[in-house]
Structure 1
């Protein structure tokens, strides 16, 4: 049965509206919100209930096949880096190398580096003690320090795998992970810089200061060398990056290329990172490592079910043939990368989760790529980065990360909205400008 564009858009709005309503007002888990949205849209386009379930299973399985191991290993690596104190060692090194005057830059860089393998909320919690200590020692308002750290973490969280939103979007759209990481870092750096500059400009007018005790790393963490602390982060990134640029050498050095391609597979690279992280702690106690690995797998499970259901929602939208309807009725070609950016921005602002926003947007964008002129290798890459920029804005009271920053820094709601929320708008805007420029250059 053929449906009009108006009918398809109404169904799509109903599905997205249901996700927003259930996750914000009723605090329902994103998994069940996406599940119900699949049923509403699937039945609405005329699929039988059995067909809806089959389509959901296919979409769920396909996305987990691409991302399951990556998310589990990435989550585990993050936990190991937290537990062994590697993040604290890296942060302390940067802070020692920069003067008190440049302490906000030290926190931004710390957030950026630590945020590569660790989720932004976890990274902020781990580094909050160090952040408050630096604010106390330097006399710099805690608002400046906190937002500098928060935006450094946020920049990479929204743009770079193995973070779940970027990873899921890359798998859905069909983007090489290595190129996304390398170009994503290039795009994330200006976003981090803008977040830092705004924090220093808007935060200097605030009066919040820290008066609690100074935070110091313990003796065990102090004994951990910087090289050991950094290897689990940088080795996987280098291996994945090398893999992306080996195609030209495949015929010249076939044996070497095959070996490096294997090591550069995201699953293998992250596994190597996990193994290197084991070496960041001496004398593991009996059962200690096993418990930590179990915790990593369990934490990843909660992420995977959301990503899987996002894939299911995408499969339902594909069945609705929404791409054909848009391409026939709207001049999407003139919007290019701005359409995925705006779509993801609306989703993020409405329901709060950057991950849910980019996963949902990727499902909608996939059939629209030809109409938008983005159905090329670079086009898909920039589409994912544009959605990443959209998933930055606007972080406010419906975002869990917003409250992590506020509670662990002791900042008031008014200050958070004025400094941090505005920073996310500027970061998202900077990101889409950078993506647009790169899309014209590359």
Structure 2
């Protein structure tokens, strides 16, 4: 019981440090791991049979990044290449041609759903804002409804579907680094349902106009993106760097099923090799290279890789620190105690959702909520009866649902949506914040129903 009190205090301090005092999540998580390890009674120095607290922290940091770090970096590089080449705009245009503009909010939601798989939701919104405004005017649809539909479509895959870094990091923390195909297979339909929930909420505002100021910076930002991209790439060149790795990862997972659908020979070896996330993303990166044609060749590639590494660095550090925090908890008996207690309460899959939602609402970052919560609950999975591959995947989904509950004033995405959509803050709370609440609740209810059937 004392360890539970210590854990509650440490988590409360972690949330306070990152939300109120604005301490970087990496430092906050590393500090929580060190303070928590000492408070839990881990040895201060290494012994003959036990590791000291510093060794436990370093081991947890390195082990997690060793399994998932390259995947995060490669996914981020592909996202930057697609963003700079204007591939996101091409994908949007293709979807509009396919669906037309009869159902504008549905069309823009689907565009957001696909674009946010490789591109961060904040960047995706900026890139697509001008397109969204144009579609809203052409179909005489409220910009608020269109904005919320786009934002919730982006948000859905941002929190559920690899290779977005948050879900990848959560999967790594929960021992699913080699099962990303299964995470994608479950994450895409779960994300689709939550995107639909956000779309239905967005349609409530079809007759409401923005009450905020004109956002000239939105137009300037989009023009800057277009100027950097130059001529837009074709549809195949835009979609292939995303779809090919996803298909390879999923085929790799299928190849290793007990039924051996590809046999036991060369086909099995080939699909198993190509389906490894690192190899699949390297293939995606190679496919994305032609997008650099006309942008400066090797120099442009080097610059964009450097930008991607810069963007990935905070995520890597936060992910590693989350692994360190999880390792400290795993080194105690806390997991068994909490698992038994929580199992007795019968909240099961709702526990990671509630922890993630609390962290998200308190400090604003979905990625931090995904990483921290997954590290926190990893030791509890066995006691909760969720330590199978499918159980772990559903825990990733539950954490993802919590990581979108809710987006408000401490979340950068909230302000991107608010300012670029010309909504007042009050409107944004009614439209965007409430939409993320609807999405999160819908997500966890769906995950709970899946857990009753699959686990």
Task: Give the 5 Å matches for 1:115-264.
Answer: 115-175=116-176, 176-202=179-205, 204-208=207-211, 224-247=233-256, 248-249=259-260, 252-264=263-275
Aligned residue pairs total: 437
Match of 2:312 in 1: 300
User: How many angstroms apart in 2 are the aligned matches of 1:333 and 1:229?
Assistant: 48
CA RMSD of aligned residues (A): 2.2
Question: Is 1:35 the equivalent of 2:30?
Answer: yes
For residue 245 of structure 1, give the secondary structure of its aligned residue in structure 2. Answer: helix
Question: Once the 2 structures are TM-superposed, how far is the Cα of residue 432 of structure 1 from its aligned partner?
Answer: 1.3
Match of 2:40 in 1: 45
Match of 1:323 in 2: 335
Match of 2:103 in 1: 102
Q: Choose 48-57 or 327-336, whichever is displaced more.
A: 327-336
CA contact (8 A) 2:210 2:423 kept: no
Question: Is 1:437 the equivalent of 2:438?
Answer: no
Structure 1 length as normaliser, TM-score? 0.93
Question: Once the 2 structures are TM-superposed, how far is the Cα of residue 440 of structure 1 from its aligned partner?
Answer: 2.9
Question: Once the 2 structures are TM-superposed, how far is the Cα of residue 180 of structure 1 from its aligned partner?
Answer: 0.5
CA contact (8 A) 2:86 2:232 kept: no
Structure 2 length as normaliser, TM-score? 0.90
Match of 1:265 in 2: 276
User: How many angstroms apart in 2 are the aligned matches of 1:159 and 1:331?
Assistant: 25
Q: Choose 362-371 or 423-432, whichever is displaced more.
A: 362-371
Match of 2:49 in 1: none
Are the structure 2 counterparts of residues 370 and 138 from structure 1 closer, same or farther at C-alpha, using a change threshold of 3 Å?
same
User: How many angstroms apart in 2 are the aligned matches of 1:28 and 1:353?
Assistant: 13
Question: Is 1:408 the equivalent of 2:420?
Answer: yes
Are the structure 2 counterparts of residues 338 and 135 from structure 1 closer, same or farther at C-alpha, using a change threshold of 3 Å?
same
Are the structure 2 counterparts of residues 48 and 208 from structure 1 closer, same or farther at C-alpha, using a change threshold of 3 Å?
same
CA contact (8 A) 2:36 2:328 kept: yes
Question: Is 1:15 the equivalent of 2:10?
Answer: yes
Q: Choose 305-314 or 282-291, whichever is displaced more.
A: 282-291
Which 5+ residue runs of structure 1 have no aligned equivalent?
none
Question: Once the 2 structures are TM-superposed, how far is the Cα of residue 362 of structure 1 from its aligned partner?
Answer: 1.3
User: How many angstroms apart in 2 are the aligned matches of 1:377 and 1:288?
Assistant: 40
User: How many angstroms apart in 2 are the aligned matches of 1:15 and 1:400?
Assistant: 25
